[in-house]
Amino acid sequence: MAKTKSPKLRSQELGFGTFATTNDQRILDKDGSSNIIKQGLPIWRPYELYQKLILMSWTRFLTIVFIAFILANILFAQLYIFSGLEHLQGADIHSYWTGFWDAFFFSAQTMSTVGYGRISPVGFWTSALSSIESLVGLLVFALATGLIYGRFSRPELKLIFSKEALISPFQDGKALMFRIGNLRSTELLDVEVEVVISKNELIQEKYTRKFYPVSLERGRISILSMTWTLVHPIDEDSPLFEMNYEEMAKENLEVLILIRAFEPSFSQTVHTRSSYMYNEIVMNAKFRPTIGNDPSGRIVVDLKELSKYDLLAEELEL
């Protein structure tokens, strides 16, 4: 028999439409990015280049910069060889490879405007080529400097989420709980959390994706200096009310988390997102404490304990 939903329970449009998900696919990845594949996009999208270079990992960014620098100098080295190595005064032209490496390192020195002076261009075309390379080097290094500054100055939340969400005893009932912690040494201000539960529902013989905003025991705090356990009481107004694990799996349930906070170092409001799938929700468990005291009495927060929990002996019914 279908469950009767509370009249207070109303779905909202979150921006992902109503198309049902299948095969345990999540809407939001753990890093907060949308798990949606876009087709029909143009192959060449220069308008996304800056965004991609800003958002990619440092390892990938530095690798791309290094490879681009090597390839650019190989190209100019070949152009110097084509124009004639005899026009590079001081270059060793006894063999192709000695000439190539001299041309390569001369290119690197010209592009970076170091100019050690052992090799110098002679003749109009070689001098013109080195002048063009100097201009290219100035532009490229200016762009690289701007990208590096943009990456360092980009405000972002460095939050860690507990690996699983728990269904735990709460007051006279039970609640959905998960924890977050701040990986930065500075505090976050005016932290607000919004939790939305997404699930497939059978409506007129067709599965439709529905999104239900849920209430939290406390959805906003002024300062996040320690860990924070977010608690959603499971009462009659909750979309989790009387749901068991099999029903969660059938409806491909996902808990979406949207967080915004004021980052005082950058004086900006920043956002982050994450989610828990139904198979990342542990029934009948309780988080271990993360806060204690050192010998001097100061409060100590151990973020390594953020995801640790204990299973409870008694079975907890939703």
User: What DSSP letter does each residue of 215-265 carry, written as one string?
Assistant: --S--EEEEESS-EEEEEE-STTSTTTT--HHHHHHTT-EEEEEEEEEETT
Do 259 and 157 contact (CB within 8 A), yes or no? yes
C-alpha of 107 from chain center:
37
Bridge-based pairing of strands 165-170 and 281-283 is parallel
Q: Which residues of the chain have pLDDT under 50?
A: 1-7
pLDDT confidence of residue 308: 92
pLDDT confidence of residue 134: 92
Q: Other CB atoms closer than 10 Å to residue 125's CB: what's the count?
A: 14
At what angle are helices 124-153 and 96-111 packed, to 10 degrees?
50
pLDDT confidence of residue 8: 57
Q: Going by C-beta distance under 8 Å and a sequence separation of 6 or more, which residues neighbour residue 273?
A: 28, 32, 256, 257, 258, 259
Domain boundary assignment for the chain:
46-153, 159-311
pLDDT confidence of residue 166: 94
pLDDT confidence of residue 231: 94
pLDDT confidence of residue 3: 47
pLDDT confidence of residue 267: 84
The matching CATH number, chosen from 3.40.50.10860, 1.10.287.70, 1.10.3720.10, 3.40.50.1220, for 46-153 is 1.10.287.70
| DSSP code at position 2 | P
φ, ψ at 233 (rounded to 5°) = -65, 130
Q: Other CB atoms closer than 10 Å to residue 108's CB: what's the count?
A: 18
pLDDT confidence of residue 31: 77
pLDDT confidence of residue 317: 53
pTM of this prediction? 0.76
CATH superfamily of the 159-311 domain: G protein-activated inward rectifier potassium channel 1 (2.60.40.1400)
Return d(Cα 134, Cα 109) in angstroms, integer.
9
pLDDT, tens digit, 9 for 90 and up, residues 220-254: 999 988 889 999 999 888 988 888 888 888 889 99
CA 36, 37, 39, 45 dihedral sign is: positive
pLDDT confidence of residue 209: 87
- Please check whether the two domains, 46-153 and 159-311, share a CATH topology: no
User: Which stretch of DSSP H or E encloses residue 283?
Assistant: strand 281-283
Return d(Cα 200, Cα 248) in angstroms, integer.
9
Residue 249 token pair: 């799996």
pLDDT confidence of residue 314: 63
pLDDT confidence of residue 163: 93
Rg of the chain over Cα atoms, rounded to whole angstroms, equals 29
